[in-house]
Amino acid sequence: MELVIIIMMLVLVVVATVAIRLTQTGTPFPYQKKPALFTEAERAFMLKLEQAVGDQFRVVNRVRLSDMLIVTQGMDKRAEQAAKLKASAKTLDFVLLNRHTLEPVAAIDLVNTESKVGYKAKADWFVRGALETVGVAHVRIKVRAGYKSSEIRACLAGKMGASQLSPLNVHKAASRGPTRPIKPLRDINVTQGGRSQAAVA
C-alpha cells in the first residue's frame, strides 16, 4: 500500500515538472505581443483594398470559413460535425461585408506563387466550392510589391461583376481659402479717456 502511495506521489511530481517546463516561464500565460498584426504584404494590400472599395464595403481580415457558413439542415450528426470541422480549419485572408447589413459579399486570399510558405500557392477546391455554393465570390490575388487600387478593383469586378461595385466617391480637395467671410480691415476711432486708439474689425 505504501509503495502505491509513493509511486503516485512520484507521478504527480513528474507531471508537475513537465507542466512547468511546457509553460517555460512557469506562468499560465506564456505569451508576448506581436510587433504587428499584419505582415508587410498584408498591410500594404489592405490599404489599397480599402481604397479600391471606397465606402461601399467593410473590410475584415482572417475570417474562418465556418464564421461565414452554416451547415445545411437535415444532415446526420456525423456528416454535420465533419462539415463544421472542415470549414473551421479554413481561414480567408480578407472578407468584404455589405456596409449596412454586414452580409459577406466576397472573400479574398493572397497568393504567393513564388513560395509555398505563408500564403496559399495552390487553389483550395473546398473553399472555392463552399463559397460558390452560397453565392460569395472568391478572389485570389497574387502577392507582389506596389499594389494599385485600380488593379485590385479590376480583379474584384472580374469575379463579382462590375455591376456589384458602386462608383467610387471622389472627394475634391477643399480649397485653402477662408472658411468665413472676412470683413475689410478698417480703422475705427475709439475714444477712451480722451485718448484715441485704433481697433481692427
Secondary structure in 3-state letters for 124-165: CHHHHHHHHHCCCEEEEEECCCCCCHHHHHHHHHHHHCHHHC
Residue 197 lies in a domain: no
Cα 159 to Cα 176: distance, rounded to the nearest angstrom: 41
Residues paired with 151 in a beta bridge: none
What pTM value is reported for the model?
0.66
Q: Are residues 80 and 15 in the same domain?
A: no
Q: How many domains does the chain have?
A: 2
Residue 198 lies in a domain: no
Helix crossing, 149-160 with 40-53: angle to 10°?
Answer: 70
Q: Are residues 100 and 59 in the same domain?
A: yes
Q: Are residues 17 and 110 in the same domain?
A: no
Please write the tens of the pLDDT for every residue from 101-160: 999 999 999 888 776 555 566 778 999 999 999 999 999 988 888 888 999 999 999 888
Q: Are residues 61 and 17 in the same domain?
A: no
Q: Are residues 46 and 123 in the same domain?
A: yes
**Domain membership of residue 101 as a residue range:** 40-164
Please write the tens of the pLDDT for every residue from 147-197: 889 999 999 998 888 878 888 764 444 445 445 544 544 444 444 444 433
What average pLDDT does the structure give for the chain?
78
74 phi-psi bin (left φ>0, alpha ψ -120 to 50, beta other): left
Q: Are residues 8 and 54 in the same domain?
A: no
Residue 145 lies in a domain: yes
Q: How many CB atoms lie within 10 A of CB 87?
A: 19
Q: Are residues 77 and 10 in the same domain?
A: no
Cα 160 to Cα 150: distance, rounded to the nearest angstrom: 15
Q: Are residues 92 and 52 in the same domain?
A: yes
Tell me phi and psi for residue 132, to 5 degrees.
-65, -35
Length of the chain: 201
Written as one string, the DSSP assignment of 31-74 is ----S-SS-HHHHHHHHHHHHHHTTSEEEEEEEEHHHH--PPTT
